[in-house]
Amino acid sequence: MSFADLKRKSQSNFDFLQKELTKSTKEGGADERIWKPALDKSGNGYAVIRFLPAPDGESLPWAKVYSHAFQGPGGWLIDNCLTTNGDQCPICAANNKLWNSGVESDKEIARNRKRKLSYYSNIYVVKDTANPDNEGRVFLYKYGKKIHDKVIAAMQPEFQDETPVNVFDFWEGANFKLKIKTVGGYWNYDSSEFAAPSALSADDEEMESLWQQAYSLESHTSADQFKSYTELENRMSMVLGTSTPSAPSVESEEYDPAPVSSSTADFNSPDITSSSNDDDDALSYFARLAND
């Protein structure tokens, strides 16, 4: 765009920025790129989505992120865990110390502060009964270990008579029927399943257009998404009330509000930073927030 065009479009550019600012502040700055399923009046939800291939220039069709979310006398700590990228995390170190103390009350504290697991993928929304306007669009989808396990089961089936399916493939992938039930007050995805393999479309140009709309996944694990070890350690001290804050509290972050299983789940290993019992859909703290 030339300088003359910039001058001519000054007002329209300003109008565009005004709209973007309005979107960014609406609903607490919720990320409109992220698709979220919704429940009907009966407490159930249904949608059909298609996992998309890795974005252009990236190698994996998902991003794996660990995070911490817990409350202390100094407020809430809501931050990504440094172990996401294989680095040491002060919160995990503190949790391991508590767990290894052998004191049951310390173990309970460690359970409540353990890291949570989330995945991000690009999806195409085939059917969204709760929000039909989402159909035919590309979104980011944030999901937990339960759904990721279903992806693994489809790509690496347990039995020899089952054919592996690359569910992220445009031509030989499969639609995912997301079925949500409310069980004991929590979202349950056990009935969700992949349909038979099929091409997303018969038109390669249409699929290429969808692929070009995909969002970066590697951005979720880039360095700017994480505090340094010292910053995270200081934040933990502030939240736990073991230090006096010397600066304004950090900004809050938006997380998927889907409720998850109780924090009293059993631990199979004393090394809770690598526990296989990571909560589905990441963060149970919203359930606790609702009761505060």
Least confident range from 23-27, 77-81, 132-136: namely 23-27
Please name the residues in contact with 92: beta carbons below 8 A apart, sequence gap of 6 or more: 81, 82, 83, 115, 272, 273
The whole-number pLDDT of residue 43 equals 87
Give bridge partners of residue 180 from the DSSP assignment: 45
CA distance 37 to 276: 25
pLDDT at 185: 85
Q: Which amino acid is at 160?
A: Q
pLDDT score recorded for residue 9: 67
- Looking at residue 1, what is its pLDDT? 57
- Average pLDDT over every residue of 187-199: 96
12: pLDDT strictly greater than 60: yes
Please, which residues have CB within 8 angstroms of residue 19's CB and are 6 or more apart in sequence? Answer: none
Q: What is the pLDDT of residue 18?
A: 62
Per-residue tokens: 259: 């409720």
Range of weakest confidence among 32-36, 121-125, 187-191, 259-263: 259-263
- Give the list of residues 6+ apart from residue 76 with CB closer than 8 angstroms, or none: 69, 70, 239, 252, 285
Contacts of 102 (CB under 8 A, 6+ apart): none
Assess whether pLDDT exceeds 70 at residue 275: no
* CA atoms of 159 and 163, how far apart (whole Å): 9
Is residue 27 predicted with pLDDT exceeding 50?
A: no
- CB 164 within 8 Å of CB 146: no
Assess contact for 164 and 155: CB atoms under 8 A. yes
Q: What percent of the chain has pLDDT over 70?
A: 73
**Phi and psi, residue 35, nearest 5°:** -85, 140
With a cut of 60, say whether residue 269 has pLDDT above it: no
At 91, the pLDDT band (50, 70, 90 cuts) reads: very high
Q: What is the mean pLDDT of the segment spanning 66-75?
A: 96
Structure tokens at 279: 């909560």
**pLDDT of 36 higher than 90:** yes
Tell me which of 40-44, 144-148, 235-239 is least confident. Answer: 40-44
Residue 160 Cα distances to 164, 193, 289, angstroms:
10, 19, 46
Residue 183 β-bridge partners: 186
Q: pLDDT digits over 144-181, tens only?
A: 999 999 999 999 999 999 999 999 999 999 999 999 99
What pLDDT was estimated at residue 198?
Answer: 97
Mean pLDDT for the chain? Answer: 82
* Beta carbons of 47 and 123 less than 8 angstroms apart: no
Contact 60, 214 (CB under 8 A): no
Band of the pLDDT at 140, cuts 50, 70, 90? very high
Q: Which domains does the chain have, with CATH numbers?
A: 30-291 (3.90.198.10)
Residue 41: the pLDDT is 87
Mean per-residue pLDDT for 214-224? 96
- C-alpha dist (Å) from residue 117 to 59, 80, 109, 143, 215: 20, 10, 18, 9, 20
pLDDT of 21 reads 60
Residue 262: the pLDDT is 36
The whole-number pLDDT of residue 253 equals: 37
Strands 34-35 and 138-143: parallel
Q: Residue range 83-87: average pLDDT?
A: 97
How many CB atoms sit inside 10 A of residue 246's CB? 7
pTM: 0.75
pLDDT above 90 covers what percent of the chain?
68
Res. 268: pLDDT tops 80: no
CB count within 10 Å of CB 68 equals 25
- Mean pLDDT of the region 102-108: 95
